[in-house]
Amino acid sequence: MSEETSADRPDEAPEPALSVAVVDAETPGNIGTIARAMKNFGLADLYLVDPPELHPEGEAYGFAGAAREDVLPGAREVSLDYLVEQFHTVGFTAITNEDGTKHVRYPFVTPAELAADLRTVETSTCLVFGRERVGLTNDELARIDQVASIPASADYPVLNLGQAVTVALYELRGLAVAETQLPERTDRAEEPAIEGLHDQFADLLVAVDHPEEKRAKAGRLWRRLLGRAHPTGREVRTLRGLFRKAGQRLRED
């Protein structure tokens, strides 16, 4: 398993693809199960944030099946910063908010809805899964572009980590086929440009003296809005130009 951060390769962006990331997994066996599911449904790129040790003779490789030959050895250890900077991120959670009054885990889509959404854009998307017991934290989800949740019984909605990844990848399997078999794609802006737009929005909140205690929530709303919109490169450039002019005018006033 190789280790990589955004600082190590600042000029290298991933190819448009669908990849999987697991944050702070507790058991090597689940990582092996996830690698196997990826192999089943045509995915190859696995990213690990703070993973356990993965020994070639251990549980991870024992559970990986044929994925022990390529997916698992090719897994890269990265930071959450790297994922946010390089990918359109989709965080998976079993616990969601019921409505728009809380914005960390809302709005959310099902894997089937996500598949339909991603078929219309050309973007490097990373599906981010959390810990076996508690999943992704609110702070981690606040940095992620979209939220997804697998419909399950209200009496027991929490799936095993390996099961959750397998179900999600089954629904998204169509995105791993040849590009010629997919509908026409939208020219989605590159991730660094979108992250720059997020930074400019945060600066604008300061410039307009938006209440400090409300800025984090406004930033999450803005991130979720862009996460659903998949703006084009031209749209992002236009918005960044408007934000830049607005900031200049506010400073002059």
Q: Which of 181, 206, 221 is the last residue of a domain?
A: 181
The residues facing 146 across adjacent strands are 90
Domain edge (last residue) among 155, 181, 207: 181
Rounded Cα distance, 119 and 121, in Å = 6
- Are 93 and 169 found together in one domain? yes
Examine the domain organization and report whether 13 and 50 are in the same domain.
yes
Q: Indicate which CATH number applies to the domain containing 48.
A: 3.40.1280.10
Same-domain status, 210 and 171:
no
Residues 49 and 170 in one domain: yes
**Per-block average pLDDT, block size 10, for the chain (253 residues)?**
51 64 96 96 96 93 95 97 95 76 75 90 91 92 93 86 94 68 67 93 91 93 91 92 89 79
pTM, to two decimals? 0.71
> For residue 186, is it within any domain?
no
Statement to judge: residues 85 and 208 lie in one domain:
no
Q: Which of 139, 162, 181 is the C-terminal boundary of a domain? A: 181
Name which of 98, 96, 46 is nearest 68 in CA terms: 46
What's the one-letter identity of residue 82? Y
State both tokens at 252: 């002059």
Joined together, the tokens standing for residue 82 give 């790297």
- Supply the pLDDT for residue 150: 92
Domain contains 124: yes
Assess whether 12 and 88 both reside in one domain: yes
Please state, in angstroms and as integers, the Cα–Cα distance from residue 71 to each residue in 20, 151, 176, 210, following that order. Answer: 11, 28, 15, 46
- Quote the CA–CA distance of 98 and 80 in Å, as a whole number: 26
Does 79 lie in the same domain as 19? yes
| Residue 18 and residue 124 share a domain | yes
Domain co-membership, 30 together with 142 = yes
What's the rounded Cα separation, in Å, for the pair 149 and 129?
Answer: 11
Structural domain count, the chain: 2
Nearest partner of 128 among 120, 139, 136, judged by Cα? 136
* Domain co-membership, 203 together with 105: no
Q: Which domain holds residue 224?
A: 191-252
> Same structural domain for residues 134 and 213?
no
According to the model, what pLDDT value does residue 249 have?
87
Same domain membership, residue 196 and residue 90: no
